Amino acid sequence: MFKYENYEKYDSFYIDLLFSYSNICSMFNITFPYLDKIFYIIENIDNIPISDIQKEFCKFQYTTICLYMKHYCKSYDYIGYINHIIGPNINKNNMSFFHKKDINKTLLIYDGGGLGDIIMFSRFIPELCKKYNTNKIKFLLDDKLVWLFTNIFKYIDNLIIISYNNKNIIGEFNYHCSLLSLIKYLEIDYNSIKFTPLFKNIKYSKSEISSKIVNEINNKKTYILNWKGNPNNMHEKNNRSMKLVNAIPLFKKKDINWIVITQNIDSKEKKILNKYNVKYYGDIIDKNKSFYDTISIMNNISGVISTDTSLVHLSANLDIPTYVLLTLGCEWRWTRDNTTNWYPNVKLYRQTEIYNWDNVINNVIDNLIKDIS
C-alpha cells in the first residue's frame, strides 16, 4: 500500500488534503487538529509551488476558517474573497477604501451573496455613511430589495442606492468593496458587532393580499414555518434545508396556527400541509416587491421558525421572535454557540447528529411550550 511521505514539502496533494479535511471537520462540527499547518501555508503562500487557482482556493478556505473561529481580524487580508462580484474594474483583488482625509470621494459597495447576506451585512451602512459623511457611498443592490433599503435608509443623505437593473448608470467611483469586507475597513471583530433591528420601524401600506391574510390570522397564536431556501444556493441541499416531513411534530402541536409562505413547493409538500391544515400563501405573496407582503404578515404573527434562509434575517430585523433551525455544520455567522452576536435576539437550534433533525424539532417544541404558556 502506498504511503504518502512528503508532508514537509507542502505540495499540491498535501495542501488539498489538509484543506479538504478542514472542510470535513467543519461539516461535522469537530475540531480541526492541524490549524498550525493551515496558517503556515497562508503565511508562505507566495513561495509555495502550487497553481494560482489552488492559492486562491487556500485563501478563500483560510478566510472561512478564521470567520468560523470568530478571529475576524485574521480574516482581513482575504475577506474580499467572500461574496465578491466581478465587473469592469471590479474584482476581489483590487478592492479599496476611503483614506482618512478624503473629501468628496465616492465608494461603491455591493454584495455577491444571497438576500439574507445583504440584509445581514447592511447593518454596517449607517455607521459607514456617518463616519465618512463628507463623501458619497453608492450601494449597488439586488432589484428585489431596492424598495426596502430605500425605505429604511431614506434619512442618509450621502447614500445613493442603485439597482442592478440600472448598473449602467453607476457612474464614476474612487473605491469599491463588498459589504462583507466592511468588517475589515471598519475594523470590526466578532465581539464588536452591533445589532439594531433595521426594519423595526419600517413604514409601508398593506397590500390587498397581505390584508386578507392578516384578517384570516385574526389574532390567533400564529407561526410561519419554513424548511428550505433558494435551491440554486450550493449549500442549500446538504447544509441548510430539511425535509418538510421533519416538521410534522410541530404541526401536531395544539393551540398553534401554522402558515407557510415558502415559494416553489412540490405536490408531496402540499399534501403534507393540507393533511395538517397548514395554510399556504407562497404562491400569492410578494409578486412584485420582495418581502413586501411578508413584512405585513410577519408584523401580525407570533414568530418565525425557519432553516437558514433570508426569512430569518428579515424576521430578526423586524424584531419578531425567531427560531433558527441549523445543520450540524452550519455557516460561520451562526457560530458554534447557542447564540450569535450577529442576531442576539434569535434562538438557535443546532443538529447534534448530521442529517438528523429530531433534537432540533424537539427543542423547538419545548421552547414553544414555554414561550406561549
Is 13 in contact with 4 (CB distance < 8 Å)?
A: yes
Using the Cα atoms of residue 204, residue 298, residue 270 and residue 255 in order, give the sign of their dihedral. negative
Is 91 among the domain residues? no
Same-domain pairing of 232 and 284: yes
Measured CA to CA, the distance from residue 276 to residue 252 in angstroms comes to 8
Task: Give the phi and the psi of residue 353 in degrees, each rounded to 5.
Answer: -140, 130
Whether 114 and 170 map to the same domain: the answer is yes
Domain termination site, one of 168, 192, 216: 192
Residue 291 confidence (pLDDT): 94
**In the prediction, which pLDDT does 3 show?**
63
Does 110 lie in the same domain as 152?
yes
> Phi-psi region for residue 264, left (φ > 0), alpha (ψ -120 to 50) or beta?
left
In a domain, 65, yes or no: yes
The whole domain housing 62 covers 7-69
Query: At 161, which helix (H) or strand (E)?
Result: strand 159-163
Separation of alpha carbons 184 and 43, rounded Å: 19
Residues 128 and 126: their CA atoms lie apart, in Å, by 5
Residues in the chain: 373
Which pLDDT score is estimated for 167? 84
Determine the Cα–Cα distance for residues 247 and 227; give it in Å rounded to an integer. 8
Q: CA-to-CA distance for 13 and 29, rounded, in angstroms?
A: 24
- The pLDDT, as a whole number, for residue 4 is 62
The verdict on 246 and 350 lying in the same domain is yes
d(CA 38, CA 83): 22
Domain limit, last residue, from 135, 160, 192: 192
Question: What residues are paired with 163 via a beta bridge?
Answer: 141
- 10-residue block means of pLDDT along the chain (373 residues)? 66 91 90 93 93 94 94 95 89 93 97 94 97 97 93 96 90 95 96 95 90 87 93 75 96 92 94 96 90 95 96 97 95 92 97 94 91 72
Residue 172 has a pLDDT of 93
Q: CB count, 10 Å around CB of 132?
A: 20
Within-domain flag for 249: yes
Claim to verify: residue 182 and residue 330 sit in the same structural domain: no
Number of domains in the chain: 3
What are the phi and psi torsion angles at 209 (to 5°)?
A: -65, -50
Q: Is 34 exposed, middle or buried (0-12, 13-18, 19+ CB in 10 A)?
A: middle
| 145, part of any domain | yes
Distance CA 336, CA 111 (A): 25
